[in-house]
Amino acid sequence: MHSHHLASMHHVNVLDAYSEQLETIPKEVLQEQVQAIQKETVASRKWLASLPRERLAGQAEESVKGIQQSHAQTIKAAKAITAELQNPNVNYTSVSNQVNQMSRSLRSGESHIHDAYNHWKLNPIHRRLHPGT
């Protein structure tokens, strides 16, 4: 779940870096990035849904709800961007707003994943790469 989530965040960070100049990126490239975000987010959601019910309840329940909300908001924003990119006159301000929404949602989801992993006694791999975080 976490690796898919991090992959989504990577693609969003690329778009976010260009949020003020999205119109300089070909629509096809923007759409490819959005599809990658959606694909990785769906994979993260599927992994979460595959967990046993008892793991999703109890102490981790609020964290799981936060992760699910992050997934839903990210996919909703991705769909909005896809719809906007179909227009002949793309509103890049709207696309940028949706990119920002995805970025906020995924950052929020990241903290919920960490909380859930703590409840589940799992060690997020990034802790090995970034000790002290």
pLDDT at 56: 86
- Half-sphere exposure in the Cβ direction for 38 (13 Å, CA): 15
Written as six digits, the tokens of 108 are: 């929020």
Question: Do residues 96 and 22 touch, judged by C-beta distance below 8 A?
Answer: yes
The domain in which residue 66 lies consists of 2-129
**Structure confidence at residue 130 as a pLDDT band (50, 70, 90):** very low
Higher pLDDT, 115 or 86: 86
Closest to 95 in 3D by CA, of 104, 105, 87, 85: 85
Radius of gyration of the chain (CA): 16
Reply yes or no on whether the pLDDT at 133 is more than 50.
no
pLDDT digits (tens, 9 = 90+) for 19-54: 899 999 999 999 999 999 999 999 999 999 998 888
Whole-prediction pTM: 0.88
**Domain count within the chain:** 1
pLDDT digits (tens, 9 = 90+) for 66-107: 999 999 999 999 999 999 999 999 999 999 999 999 999 999
Indicate the residue type of 44. S
CATH of the domain at 11: 1.20.120
